[in-house]
Amino acid sequence: PFFSALLLFTGVYLDQATPLIYGTVLALLVGVAAYRAQALDLSGSLAAFLSGALIFGLGGWVYSVPVLVFFITSSLLSHLPYEKQNHQHGGKGSGARRTAVQVISNGGIATLMVPIALFWPHPMVFLIYLSALAAATADTWATEIGQRYGRTPRSIITGEFVTERASGGVTPIGLSAALLGAGAVAFVGILTYNLTFDEQLSLRAIFFVIVAGYIGQLIDSLLGATLQFRGRCPVCAEDVEVREHCGRSTELVDGLPWLGNDAINLLCTLSGALFPIAMRFGLGIQL
């Protein structure tokens, strides 16, 4: 019965089903390619496939192109060589395969906007979507480029030098990369939208998306410097930002026990998504 219903659906509503079929195939190809390229582990590839099927299948090229910019550039940057000879691999931005939780924390907010756009096809929904992606891209570019080619990071709170990979540490080149990452998503997204629809988004929209992405990345760093979980390994006595180390649970030293790196990434993209909402409905600025 299921396959009969599926055949009936695709036969009667072929025009409506075709984009979803194409989107699902494209999402499958992206998920497999990411797994083979060691950008994602198995769970991450599955999460990327499900997210991609929604975005590619329901959002069309307008929503697909920006997320492809984020995904492709993030994957390429994570495999760049390190200039610093004393660099130790591991942790955020290390080039390790990303998990489903990391995929969701970076792309979950944006993915949720796509089905909303089906019921409310308003440019504002697209700007929220784009701003969430801009924040994720800004944070990723800042991390990957800053850790590889930046100087010793400084705390975003105190300005003092911090260890490499310490959350809340920033570098000039990392902050510049964040601006470029947000700009890339904003420019490509707005351009794709204007080439697709008669209703045009202004250059001001590009500016607001860039600001949204940059603010999201700054909030990520601020939370990392102040409230992120920090623990101590009972085996090696090293202070780390993960809940397990050397096969043992770490002991809370500072921060909130539930606020790990993935939760902060989610709050980063949420902050980016909320920025255009605050500008439009809070301050009455026409985007």
Tokens linked to 183: 């700009």
DSSP three-state, residue 103: helix
| Residue 87 domain-assigned (yes or no) | no
Q: Report how far apart, in Å, the C-alpha atoms of 200 and of each of 68, 206, 211, 274 are.
A: 22, 12, 20, 22
169 with 113: CB under 8 angstroms? no
| Residue 31 domain-assigned (yes or no) | yes
81 with 25: CB under 8 angstroms? no
Closest residue by Cα to residue 130 from 53, 89, 182, 200: 182
| Residue 86 domain-assigned (yes or no) | no
**What would the 3-class secondary structure string for 147-185 be?**
HHHCCCCEECCCCCECCCCCCCEECHHHHHHHHHHHHHH
pLDDT in tens, 78-113: 888 876 544 444 445 555 789 999 999 999 999 999
| Separation CA 48–CA 34 (nearest Å) | 9
Q: Could you tell me how far CA 17 lies from the centroid of its own chain?
A: 28
pLDDT in tens, 194-232: 999 998 999 999 999 999 999 999 999 999 999 999 999
| Residue 169 domain-assigned (yes or no) | yes
| Number of domains observed in the structure of the chain | 1
| Residue 88 domain-assigned (yes or no) | no
* pTM score, whole prediction: 0.90
98 with 70: CB under 8 angstroms? no
| Residue 175 domain-assigned (yes or no) | yes
**Which residue range forms the structural domain that includes residue 39?**
2-81+94-282
| Residue 115 domain-assigned (yes or no) | yes
Q: Averaged over 8-25, what is the pLDDT? A: 67
pLDDT in tens, 41-68: 999 999 999 999 999 999 999 999 999 9
pLDDT in tens, 231-257: 999 899 888 888 889 989 999 999 999
Q: Averaged over 114-138, what is the pLDDT? A: 96
| Separation CA 141–CA 178 (nearest Å) | 6
The sign of the CA dihedral 213, 216, 217, 218 is positive
* Residue that the structure tokens 């080149």 belong to: 173
| pLDDT more than 90, % of the chain | 72
Say whether pLDDT at 1 is over 60: no
pLDDT in tens, 253-272: 999 999 999 999 999 999 99
